[in-house]
């Protein structure tokens, strides 16, 4: 059985790798409150210059959404526990 030598990348558009400088700028922008959320939405759902950054931004948005849901569940659990303790001790 002989394998054929195929070039699978000839029909695919490969995105250029982001440079270290581009990643540094991206991380600096992510350190600025409110601007970071706006830029994640722009990079994730706009016409991003680099699909690597677009995929990263979408992944970040998903992680943030999951963390918010987990935080809300933990917060509601803590509030429920505190109200139960207050009711038990007649406060």
| DSSP code string of 52-84 | HHHHHHHHHHHHHHHHHHHHHHHHHHHHHHHHH
Averaged over successive runs of 10 residues, the pLDDT of the chain (91 residues) comes to: 57 79 95 95 88 94 97 96 88 72
Where in the chain are the domains? 20-88
pLDDT reported for residue 1: 52
pLDDT reported for residue 87: 87
Closest CA to 17 of 54, 51, 60: 51
Please tell me whether the overall predicted TM-score, pTM, comes out greater than 0.85 for this model.
no
């Amino acid at each position: 059985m002989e394998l054929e030598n195929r070039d699978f990348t000839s029909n695919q558009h490969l995105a250029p790798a982001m440079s270290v400088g581009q990643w540094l700028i991206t991380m600096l922008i992510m350190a600025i409150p409110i601007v970071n959320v706006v830029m994640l939405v722009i990079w994730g759902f706009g016409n991003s210059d680099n699909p690597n950054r677009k995929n990263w931004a979408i992944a970040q948005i998903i992680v943030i959404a999951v963390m918010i849901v987990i935080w809300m569940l933990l917060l509601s659990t803590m509030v429920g526990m505190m109200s139960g303790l207050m009711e038990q001790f007649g406060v």
